[in-house]
Amino acid sequence: MVNHAKIKYLGLSITSFAILFKLMSWQYAQYLLILGLSFLGIYFLIKVFK
């Protein structure tokens, strides 16, 4: 089973890269943002229902 902190930090790192991509107007920024925020959402859902 994946450690919950790993999910949180993975989501934060992907979201940070997505913000960088968005600021630089690079491709695929929206996909990275959706992916990173999805990981953070999953992390918080696990925390609420645990």
Query: Cα-flanking dihedrals φ and ψ of residue 24, to 5°?
Result: -90, 0
Q: Are the CB atoms for 10 and 37 separated by under 8 Å?
A: no
Note the pLDDT of residue 28.
Answer: 94
Phi/psi of residue 8, nearest 5 degrees = -65, -50
The predicted model gives 17-45 an average pLDDT of 95
Q: Which two tokens stand for residue 47?
A: 């925390």
User: How confident is residue 34, by pLDDT bands cut at 50, 70 and 90?
Assistant: very high
Q: What does the DSSP 8-state code read for residue 27?
A: T
Q: Is the pLDDT of residue 2 over 80?
A: no
Asked whether the predicted pLDDT for residue 30 surpasses 60, the reply is yes
Overall domain count for the chain: 1
40: which 2 tokens? 């953070």
Residue 37, domain extent: 4-49
- CA-CA distance, 22 to 42, in Å (whole number)? 23
